[in-house]
Structures are given as C-alpha cells and as structure tokens.
A and B are shown apart, each in its own frame.
Chain A
Amino acid sequence: MADDAASRRRRDPAPSRPNTGVAQLLAVFDDPRKFWLAIAVVLVAVAVAPLLFGQYATVILTNALLYVVLCLGLNIVVGYAGLLDLGYAAFFAVGAYAVAILGQQTALGFWAAIPFALVAAAAAGVIIGGPTLRLRSDYLAIVTLGFGEIVRFSARNLEITGAASGISGIEQPSLFGWHIDSPTEFYYVFALLSVFAVIASVRLANSRLGRAWLYVRHDEDAAEAMGIDRVRVKLAAYVIGSIYGAIGGIFFAVNLGAISPESFSFEQSVLILMAVILGGMGKIPGVILGAFIIVLGPELLRDLGELRLLVFAVGLLLIMLFRPSGIWPSRKS
C-alpha cells in the first residue's frame, strides 16, 4: 500500500501524505540509478563509524550488526518462506553453545569448531523442521516457541552447558596472528559478517530457491501443482535460517566471552522477529533498518531509566499504526 504511494509519488512529486519524507528517503534505494551510490554511502558510513564515535557507540553498533545477521536469517524463514518462527533464539543458542563447549572440551580451536557448530545448527533445523513444516503457520509458531524453550531449559539444566551459570572464559579468536579482542575489532568482524549476510540474502532471493519460496509463500497449492516440493523448500529455508542464527551465536559467544541461558530467552526470539516485521518483512534494507531500530531504540532511551521500554513500546506502536506493512516493506507482498 505504502509502496504504491511511493511509486506514484515518483511520477508526481507533489507530497500528499505525512510520511512522505520517510518514503522519499527510502525511495533512494528503490531507484536503480541511485542504488549503488546509496550502497556506497552506507558502506563508507559503516567503515568509518568506529573512528568517529567512541567505544560505547562502537559496542552498540556491534550489537546492531549482530542483529542484522540474526534478522536476515530469520527473514529467510519468515519473510522469504512465510513461516512464523517464535523460537529463533534456539539456533542462536546452538551456535553459541557449540563453539563454547568445543572450545572448552576439545583442542579444536575456534575456527575449526565453526563447521561443527554450523552442522549442529543445521541438524537442529532439520530435527525441528522435518516433522513440523506441514503444520499451519500458527501451529508452527507454537512448535518453534516450544522448541526454543526446550533448548533454553536444556541449557539451564545440563552440566555440559554450564547449567544456569553458563560458560565463561571463552577464548577470543586469532586470525593469522591477529588476536581479535577489542570492541573495534569485533565491530569490523560483525560488519564483515553483515555484508556477507546481505550478499547471501540477495543471492538467495534471486536464486531458483528464492523464487520457489516466493511461490510457496503466495500459493502453496499452486506451487505444489507446479512441481515444487514445498516441504523440501521450506526445510531449506529453515536450515539456512538456522545457519545464519548459528553464525550470529558463534561470534556473539566469542565477543562476550561468556554465555548464559538468559541470552536465549523467548524475549530474544520475539525481539528478532519484531525487528524483521517492523522494518518490512522480506526486504533486506527494511530488515536491516528494523534491526537498527530494535537495538538503538532502547539504547537511545537509556537515560529514561525504567521508563525506557515503555517509551520504546509506545514508539513501536505508533510506527506500526502509521506504517502497517513495516517501515520499508517489500514491494512484492
């Protein structure tokens, strides 16, 4: 709806709606001629941000970039394949715990542990997705919620995950003699991950699989009639999404140096989902914007003390009421 307005405005420059400013701003990216310029501006901004701002801003932006990776992953599940997932933090947890446990119990080292963590997350995706993807989305939502809680409770109860105290003393990685440990270094690691995540998301969306997702999302029965194996296609979305989550978790664990079950709660899953829908499901710049709002919003309101979440929630509500399809929705939906 808002997109129609935006495209109409491109032909007719007379502003007519109160949100014209934002739409106009966002339209920069929709215009192929200006697209690369805008990308370049964003990349330069990302590259110089830690040089311009202090350590606090760097830490927050690192957190936002982590959310970009997680949100792009969930976007594949929710935005591309149209599956409602309320337990995405589970995959985030699998990645984080796998790399922490392997680092502590084996001599693998960080980089060698990554493939195992990814396989573990993909396996988790298959285990939960395999039997349940035939369900309607509301039922799938509660199954994923249940799965998320099972993972969190298991982390809380098991010895190997350090029970409620979690795992601490996770070694920070080295790469070719470069020891990654300062906030700025981690910022660039997450910036790099985000760029990869964006590129992979773009390529996936334009791939054969991406078109299959689009088809399944719009009309499952018709897709099936056209020979698309909808369960396999959905499962692929699930597995790819879980790998994104695990990558986020792996680097989250080494960045913090300590993990505990509190990080993988239902609220975490809900926050990631909020970011995806708030920004505009299915559309990469929208999802990125959503991730930044969800992280920066409460952070900018920190001085309000216990009021900050209240003010943030009212803000969310207003945004949704004024832009019901998300701030920057996909034109296809």
Chain B
Amino acid sequence: MRITRRTLALTAFAGAALGGLSLASLPAAAQDSITIGVQVPTTGPEATYGNDMFNAVKIAAQEINEKGGLLGRQIELTAGDSACDPQQAVNAASKLASQDVVGVVGGYCSGATLPTLKIYGDANIPFVITASNSTKLIPANPGNAFMINSTGADQTTKAVEFMESKGIESVAIVNQGDAYSQDLANLTRDAWEQAGKKVAAFETVNKGEQDYSALVTKIKAADPDAVFWTAYYADGGLLIRQLRQGGYRGTIAVGDGSNSPKLFEIAGRAAEGVYAFSNPTAEFLPKAKSFSETYKKQFGNAPGPYAPLTYDGMMLLAWAIEKAGTTDHGPIIEALASADGQEWLSGPISFTDENTLARSNFIVLEGKGGEWALAE
C-alpha cells in the first residue's frame, strides 16, 4: 500500500514540474489581445542592453494601445529572456513559439539569435531582429526574419570614408571580443588596409574590465591619428575617459553601439569631440526627440543605442499586422517584406531579397556640450 502511495507521490512530484512547463506553454494572454514576444536578454551581463530594448518596445506598445490597439485589439507583451546565451535563447524562443505569439521583436547577441531562427522558422512566426546584425544570420534565415539593423559592412564604408576625409593616416581599432564588435573591427581593418592606410594597433578588451590603462599606453606608444572603438557605450565610455586622461590627443571615433547619450554620463567631458557613426536617429528627427523624452520620463534614464531601432521594430511589426489585416503569420510576413521605405525613427525601412535593410545612410555625429550633434 505504501509503495503505491510513494510511487504516486514521486510521479506527482515529477508531474508537477512538467505540468508547470506545459502550463507555461499555454497562450498567456486572453483571446482578444494580440501577444507579441520580446526576445532580449533581461538577466546576465547583457541585461543592460536587453532591458533598454524591452523598454523601447513597451513604449511602442503603450502608444499603440492608447490609440485603440491593433485590429481593434490590445497588444500584450511577453518576455523571452535570451540571457545572451544560445541555449537560453532557444528555450525562450520555444516558449514564445508555444504561446502562439503573433510576432517577435528583439534579438540581441547574434550568437544567441542564430539558433532561434530555426524555431521561429518552423512555426513561421514573423521575427523583426532589431539589434543582432551578424552576416551569419543571413544564410540561417528561413525567410520569416527581418533584420532592421544594418550590417557591419555599411558602417565600415562610412567609417573609412569619414576618417579618410579627416586626413587620418593610421588608426588603432579596438573591439570588445563579442561577435558584433569583432565583426565591425575586422571589416574596418580590411577596408582600411585596402585603402592603403595603416592599422597602428588592433586590440581586444574584455567586457566589464574597467581598467584600460595598459591598452591606453600601448595605443599612445603606437601613436595613431585616430582610435576607432567598435563596441558599446559602457566600456567605450571608460576607454575614452582613460584615453584622454592618459594624454591621448588624436581623434576618437565610435561605432553605433556607442551612440547613446549615456556615453556622456560615463565619459564626461572626455567625450567632447568624439565622433560616432549612427543611423539617423535620436535628436535629429522630431519624432525621435519625443521618443527620447518619453523614454527618459518613463524610465528615468536616457535611451541606449538600440532603443530607437527596437521601438521601430515594434512599430514596423504593428504596421505589418495592420496591413495584413489579420494575425495569421503568413500575411504578416508578406506585409513585412513589402515594407516600402517609409520613415521611421531610424530612417526609411525596406528590405533586400535576403530580408536585410536595403539602405546605407549612416550619419556622423560629434559630441558637443554633453550631447550628440551632427558633425560637419
């Protein structure tokens, strides 16, 4: 008698855990709302950027809901924490797919986004990728994913062109050892050498290291005309500060991952005169300016580099759902593919045959008086 009871108890124990999993896979929202998945890292070392992107989606969804929602239904967001880890991302994507989301927005850390493409592809769920931009995503895309962040190649072209125009002969390129910044650094090095110029130093730092003084000394000794930081603002701000503190007086340029007002908070006045390559964003469009203000008001800090793009991603998906007039995946994907270059916060969006952004209109910003201004 007791055997059965214990065995039953054990089975119940295992069943409860599994039941929890399968319960979790029931549609989270009530039938009359539209559920959108947001795949970003909200835990782990990349949560800084993930939360920032999530906040941007929240603002977009809120604005849509206040205007009466989509197809007369309210948007409900459900988070899929990718933790910037491929396996965690797959888990999150499987959960979102099982919840019958109408679409997914997000994608940060190309390594974590890559294995999720197959899952969304199998379920034919529209996926608007707003940050991950590795070229490795392109062949893995089954056709339902759309990358609205331009790939490194576009930015490289702009960076090389701009630095040449400034009469720069030698450059030190510094990345952060992740796929995004390493890719941009490699492309820039190749293009720069092809242009017949000198790469004085090619360096990698570890995220979160804080102390870059040894690197600063090395760069100073190599004496390049410019330093190009290809990674994000958090470590970039520290590096810029230490470069200036260490007495480096050449030009400093940063990639689009550092294009955030937060760079000035961290680097302080060292960020004056720093150039940033960026999508036409933030304060340079009236709509973008109001987005920045809403963000600051609601979350108490300035939006990060991918906030405007991610806001656009949510808005673009909403636009596609409206256009398709249904929550069925197929028509929404078709609608996304037909994006016709209308203006969003980050400029016009239309797609190539590979579902990547069909434009390259990087602009150059300059740090002036603690904020970004258009560089002449």
Contacts and interface: CB of A to CB of B under 8 A. Distances in A.
Q: Do chains A and B touch in the complex (CB under 8 A)?
A: yes
Contacts of A299: 21, 24, 91
Contact of B111 (A52, A157, A165): A165
B6 interface: yes
A308 interface: yes
Contacts of A308: 43, 81
How many chain A residues sit at the interface, stated as a range, is: 35 or more
B18 A56 contact: no
Contacts of A54: 22, 25, 98
A24 interface: yes
Interface stretch (B7-15, B251-259, B315-323, B353-361): B7-15
A288 to B, nearest CB: 11
| Residue of A60, A261, A267, A296 with most partner-chain B CB within 10 A | A60
Given A41-B11, A53-B18, A258-B115, A263 B179 contact: no
B273 to A, nearest CB: 30
A156 B112 CA distance: 15
Interface in A241-288: 252, 256-263, 267
B158 to A, nearest CB: 22
A256 B25 contact: no
Interface string A25-43: 1011000001001100100
B90 interface: yes
Contacts of A262: 84-86, 109, 111-112
Interface in B265-287: none
A56 B21 CA distance: 8
Contacts of B115: 256-258
A309 B43 contact: yes
Contacts of A56: 21-22, 24-25, 94-95, 97-98
A166 B111 contact: yes
A192 B188 CA distance: 47
Task: Tell me whether chain B's interface is mostly helix, strand or loop, or mixed.
Answer: helix
Contacts of B90: 59, 63, 256
A63 B22 CA distance: 15
B10 A53 contact: no
Contacts of B336: none
Contacts of A252: 87
Given A183-B94, A306-B43, A306-B51, A25 B87 contact: no
B25 to A, nearest CB: 4
Nearest to A27: B6
A263 B11 contact: no
B144 interface: no
B92 A302 contact: yes
B67 interface: no
A52 B91 CA distance: 18
Interface stretch (B133-141, B214-222, B240-248): B133-141
A164 interface: yes
A292 interface: yes
B197 interface: no
B48 to A, nearest CB: 11
A257 to B, nearest CB: 6
A59 B178 contact: no
Contacts of A300: 17, 20-21, 24
Given A63-B87, A164-B182, A38 B7 contact: yes
B310 interface: no
B148 interface: no
Contact of A296 (B21, B79, B80, B204): B21
A130 B219 CA distance: 39
Contacts of A4: none
A302 B10 contact: no
B7 A258 contact: no
B114 interface: yes
B136 A60 contact: no
A37 B24 contact: no
Nearest to A26: B10
Nearest to B79: A305
Contacts of A168: 114, 136, 139-140
Interface in A152-170: 156-157, 163-166, 168-169
Contacts of A263: 85-87, 111
B292 interface: no
Nearest to A57: B21
B183 interface: yes
B110 interface: yes
Interface in A36-79: 37-38, 41, 45, 49, 52-57, 59-61, 63
Contacts of A259: 86
A82 B210 CA distance: 36
A12 interface: no
Nearest to A45: B14
Contacts of A34: 3, 6-7
A156 B110 CA distance: 14
B153 interface: no
A160 B44 CA distance: 28
B47 interface: yes
Nearest to A33: B3
| Residue of A21, A34, A57, A300 with most partner-chain B CB within 10 A | A57
Interface string B34-52: 0000000011100100010
A41 B111 contact: no
A27 to B, nearest CB: 8
Contacts of B79: 302, 305
B34 to A, nearest CB: 19
Interface of A: 21, 24-25, 27-28, 34, 37-38, 41, 45, 49, 52-57, 59-61, 63, 156-157, 163-166, 168-169, 183, 252, 256-263, 267, 292, 296, 299-300, 302-303, 305-306, 308-309
Nearest first, the 8 A-B pairs at minimum CB distance are: A260-B111, A56-B98, A59-B94, A165-B179, A57-B21, A56-B25, A164-B182, A306-B42
Given A257-B115, A296-B20, 16 more contacts: A24-B9, A28-B10, A34-B3, A56-B97, A60-B94, A156-B177, A164-B183, A165-B179, A166-B114, A168-B140, A256-B90, A263-B85, A302-B80, A302-B92, A306-B43, A309-B43
9 contacts: A34-B6, A53-B25, A54-B22, A57-B18, A63-B90, A164-B111, A260-B110, A261-B111, A308-B43
